[in-house]
């Protein structure tokens, strides 16, 4: 957390939608959903790792950052560095080139970058007129824009990466790669063999403070990548295991239902049925994971919101996320 930021009181209200909702915000919105959201997070922690790296093969260390907004920072070394967009604030060629030069100076063998909505140059529809005709030097970086790439690592390991910058419209006349929330631009776009998915927007209801993309959520249920890295929603920073099971479906369905507030949440409804399903499948998942296959197993994946700036600021305040595949 930046030194000039203080943690809000639980009974206070958030000032802007890009800040995380306080406990009071969640309670007023829907006590049932607030309770299940808290319990669901506990269940995920108790279930342990959602997947095992391959046995007898070297692990691939993936370093994840996003939303640097012209900042440079200390980044741990690894086999591959991923930047999930918003390199800059204004998206001019000069700003982007400085970020590229900084990333190229880092020691990681492979570096993958996608654009974010602030990186206006990459989208011709949002590019500043003075940047027309100018070129970037991408140096050693792999720039992915609706594109897949396969990279080889030590021990014969291969991983398939796919990157896409599109986000649901959030304003800004010069914001890049925006689409209307009613659109579904992700359908059949992501290759099913994708191991590591990189998008700028989060999927809905996962590390997104309810601002992610519902269409992307539906598509990733088909792909089920081992790792999904994104940013955009700074306040959603962190990591979350996904198990692609009925408990997760029930949780997402509950979060998608119309909010009833305090009074309507008391009345019987389909929301209560989904809440019971989350509890049942969560308990069953913990027992299966711990008693049958051990604390590390399964065919799930990990989602990482890698935004390094804090909440609605452009100051670095979130730690760099590192994971081994």
Are 280 and 324 members of one domain?
no
Residue 296 tokens read as 């590390």
Say if 195 falls within a structural domain. Answer: yes
Residue 296 in this model has a pLDDT that exceeds 90? no
54: DSSP letter: P
Distance separating alpha carbons of residues 51 and 85, to the nearest angstrom = 26
Q: Is 251 left (phi over 0), alpha (psi -120 to 50) or beta?
A: alpha
* Spatial CB neighbours of 226, under 8 Å, sequence gap ≥ 6: 51, 195, 196, 301, 302, 325
Tokens of 259: 């909010």
Q: Is residue 71 part of a domain?
A: yes
Over residues 20-31, the pLDDT tens digits come to 888 888 888 889
For the chain, the straight-line distance linking the first and the last C-alpha, in angstroms and rounded, comes to: 28
pLDDT per position as a tens digit, 251-295 = 999 999 887 777 777 777 899 999 999 999 999 988 876 666 554
Domain count, the chain: 2
Same domain, 102 and 179: yes
DSSP alpha helix (H) spans, 187-288:
214-223, 246-256, 261-266, 270-287
State yes or no: pLDDT of 302 exceeds 70: yes
Distance between CA atoms of residues 116 and 83, nearest Å: 10
E strands, the chain, are 61-65, 80-83, 110-113, 142-143, 147-152, 158-164, 167-168, 178-179, 196-199, 227-230, 238-242, 301-305, 321-324
Query: 95 with 178, same domain?
Result: yes
Q: Do 261 and 222 belong to one domain?
A: no
40 in a domain, yes or no?
Answer: yes
In a domain, 200, yes or no: yes
In a 13 Å sphere around the CA of 274, the CA atoms on its Cβ side amount to 21
Helix axes 270-287, 246-256, angle to 10 degrees: 150
Please tell me whether residue 324 adopts helix, strand or coil conformation.
strand
Are residues 217 and 126 part of one domain?
A: yes
Note the pLDDT of residue 20: 85
Q: 160 is in which domain, residue-wise?
A: 57-131+149-244+299-325
pLDDT, tens digit, 9 for 90 and up, residues 97-128:
999 999 999 999 999 999 999 999 999 999 99
pLDDT tens digits for range 127-179? 999 999 999 999 999 999 999 999 999 989 999 999 999 999 988 778 999 99
Distance CA 238, CA 269 (A): 32
Query: Does residue 284 sit in the same domain as residue 169?
Result: no
The predicted structure's pLDDT at residue 173: 73
What pLDDT digit, counting tens, does each position of 42-73 carry? 999 998 889 888 888 899 999 999 999 999 99
- What pTM, to 2 d.p., does this model score? 0.94
Q: What CATH number corresponds to the domain at position 154? A: 3.60.21.10
């Amino acid at each position: 957390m930046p030194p000039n930021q203080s943690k809000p009181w639980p009974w206070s209200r958030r000032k802007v939608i890009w800040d995380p909702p306080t406990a009071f915000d969640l309670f007023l919105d829907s006590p049932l959903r607030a309770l299940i959201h808290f319990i669901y997070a506990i269940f995920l922690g108790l279930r342990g790792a959602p997947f095992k790296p391959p046995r007898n093969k070297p692990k691939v260390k993936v370093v994840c950052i996003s939303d640097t907004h012209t900042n440079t920072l200390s980044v741990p070394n690894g086999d591959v560095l991923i930047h999930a967009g918003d390199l800059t604030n204004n998206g001019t060629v000069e700003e982007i080139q400085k970020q590229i030069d900084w990333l190229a100076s880092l020691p990681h063998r492979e570096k993958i970058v996608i654009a974010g909505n602030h990186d206006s140059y990459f989208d011709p529809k949002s590019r500043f007129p003075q940047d027309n005709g100018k070129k970037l030097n991408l140096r050693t970086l792999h720039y992915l824009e609706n594109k897949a790439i396969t990279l080889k690592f030590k021990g014969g390991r291969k991983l398939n990466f796919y990157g896409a910058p599109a986000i649901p419209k959030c304003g800004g006349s010069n914001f890049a790669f925006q689409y209307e929330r009613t659109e579904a631009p992700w359908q059949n776009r992501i290759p099913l063999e994708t191991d590591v998915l990189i998008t700028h927007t989060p999927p809905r209801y996962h590390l997104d403070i309810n601002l992610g993309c519902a269409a992307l959520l539906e598509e990733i249920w088909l792909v089920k990548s081992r790792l999904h890295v994104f940013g955009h929603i700074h306040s959603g920073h962190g990591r979350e295991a996904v198990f692609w099971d009925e408990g997760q479906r029930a949780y997402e369905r509950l979060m998608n239902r119309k909010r009833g507030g305090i009074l309507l949440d008391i009345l019987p409804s389909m929301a209560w049925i989904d809440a019971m399903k989350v509890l049942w499948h969560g308990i069953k998942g913990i027992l299966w994971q711990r008693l049958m296959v051990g604390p590390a197993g399964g065919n799930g994946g990990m989602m990482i919101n890698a935004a390094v700036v804090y909440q609605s600021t452009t100051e670095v305040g979130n730690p760099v996320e590192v994971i081994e595949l």
